[in-house]
Structure 1
């Protein structure tokens, strides 16, 4: 999660504050809960500090991680779906 925070910003220095916030969460919550919340954040992807803190506060880290398997390419054809070539 720390690596993603630093890579998501144009300059790594901009991610330091978010990284410090994540490390601060380890003082309030158990390390296994923080690890699970970070795993959830990386999976959905919502890598902001606020997303991880909210997940911990609402105990979403204790729920099983649900992965979405259906992608937009798996949708059945329909007459109302125009597709990307319609807009070009």
Structure 2
């Protein structure tokens, strides 16, 4: 986690923060959120992207694109205006 913070913020954790909690406040498929204290004493949260986040998003978008192509090819055409009524 500390290496990811350094990579994503462009400086070492010890340069940026006096404290970073190793236990995440929250964790999801693309990122984790950690408590930290800046060098000026301000309490903050740091969102750390998972290393594979970009690949996960790319794969999800590719799957959605394939699904949209399939729906387009396998459903009858309908006028978009009719959906609003």
Task: Mark yes or no: TM-score above 0.5.
Answer: no
Q: TM-score, structure 1 length as denominator?
A: 0.33
Which of the two has greater strand per residue? 2
Q: TM-score, structure 2 length as denominator?
A: 0.33
Which protein shows a greater Rg? Answer: 2
